[in-house]
Structure 1
Amino acid sequence: MTTSPVPERGDAAVRSEILTGLRLSLPAGLGMFPLGVAFGLLVVQHGLSWWVAPALSIAAYAGSLELLLVGMIAALAPIATIALTTLLVNFRHVFYAFSFPLRVVRGRLRRLYSMYAMTDEAYAITAAAPGTWTSPRLLATQVAFQSYWVGGGLAGVLIGNLLPGPIDGLGFALCALFVTLTLDACRTRGQVPSLVLAGAAFAVAVVATPGAVLFTALLVFVGLLVVRYALSRRGPSDA
């Protein structure tokens, strides 16, 4: 007569962390899924094959870039243009890496996936609760985010094939999600100065380099954050 093994305390803790990660992913995931639907609709409306949606979501997995790539692929843009666009749009991930809790992830394959799945949503949710992340919680959150996105893209492809005509304004869904993530990460007064600095950096970039606003805004914003950090380290006694 055999009995089922009793789960170890460590296994229960891992399951609890995974469930916590899935729960934390829900608020942003509720925005990612309809955005994925919009992405799938764009794929269909541009006359591309249905498999382009899941292929891009796995190969690139960067919402803003994927939305841009759909139009560029449909327009048969040169490879060099696509490569430069990818660099400029995804260059922000370099700055994400400075504070993303990748150090908690154990195992080479797990760490590689966490690096690959370091999206805007994953960074925003970790930045909102620093110091609370474990490897199971972080990986569960990132896997959930990619599931929302890929699932939404497939649903959008299916809906797009059933609709009689195109839908305008789908591109604004990405902007709306970024606004929501920004507000979620700036819930306290201490984050308001960073929000103001981000607005100032964007204004400078629009005026100085209208052809590369995102790239310039990120560089200016990081510089302003470094200055703010240096001033805060000085303290009132050193002023």
Structure 2
Amino acid sequence: MGLAMIPLGLAFGALVVQSGLDWWWAGLSAALIYGGSFEFLLIGMVTAAAPLVSIAVAAFLVNARHVFYALTSTEHSRSWSSPRILWVQLFMHLYWAGGATAGALFGALIPDSVTGLDFALTALFTVLALDAIRDLHGDVPTPVLALLSAVAARLVFPDQMLLAAFALFTTGLLARHLATGGKHRHA
């Protein structure tokens, strides 16, 4: 899994440079934030000069998903020792930061006609979601829950769709977790 962060980091670094930011933004962001999808979102927010409050709220909303990752961790990973977890995290962080820095340094070599680098993270999550759907065992699929939350929020709260969709999705995930006795394996 750690090695998968290298090409994703390369795409992130190249996107930073293509967005008009200096190359060092990629390495600094990867080293200090280490937020993956939030870092991709941050590129657009920085280039648009978004207010810090908006950036902070977005960071919280995007990274709140990690709570659900913890709820769905497997028994195998729960048996890992603290040093093993720290080493795995260290190497994953280094893969991400190294890939992002390399992508930023070599991103200038990518012609402007190449598009789709901002789709790299979406593609990764799509593949992970499809894999999770294949492994389902009778519970409500997370992508279906997300889609239903978005549609309900659009119909009921069109002016506050994003906040309502996040609230409905969170409520749905918690309800599913309680209904399945915490046995759901894919968030």
Q: TM-score with structure 1 length normalisation?
A: 0.61
Q: Which amino acid aligns with 2:66?
A: H
1:139 pairs with 2:115: no
Aligned residue in 2 for 1:108: none
Report the Cα offset of residue 174 of structure 1: 0.7
Aligned residue in 2 for 1:88: 61
Q: How does 1:69-218 map to 2 (within 5 A)?
A: 69-97=42-70, 99=71, 126-127=73-74, 129=76, 131-165=78-112, 167-190=114-137, 192-195=139-142, 196-209=144-157, 215-218=163-166
Between 1 and 2, higher relative CO (CA 8 Å, sep ≥ 6) is seen in 2
Percent identity over paired residues = 43
Structure 2 SS opposite 1:189: coil
CA 213–63 in structure 1, closer or farther in 2 if over 3 Å, else same: farther
Inter-partner Cα distance in structure 2 for 1:231 and 1:207: 26
Q: Contact (CA 8 Å) 1:194, 1:225: kept in 2 or not? A: no
Report the Cα offset of residue 56 of structure 1: 0.7
Report the Cα offset of residue 167 of structure 1: 2.7
Bigger Cα Rg: 1
Inter-partner Cα distance in structure 2 for 1:218 and 1:186: 21
Gaps of 5+ in 1: 1-24, 101-125, 234-239
Structure 1 SS opposite 2:49: coil
CA shift digits 1:130-182 (9 cap, x unpaired) = 54433233223222221221121112112212234353111111111112333
Give the superposed CA RMSD.
3.0
Q: TM-score with structure 2 length normalisation?
A: 0.75
Aligned residue in 1 for 2:28: 55
Inter-partner Cα distance in structure 2 for 1:148 and 1:139: 14
Gaps of 5+ in 2: 182-187
1:38 pairs with 2:11: yes
Aligned residue in 2 for 1:116: none
1:220 pairs with 2:164: no
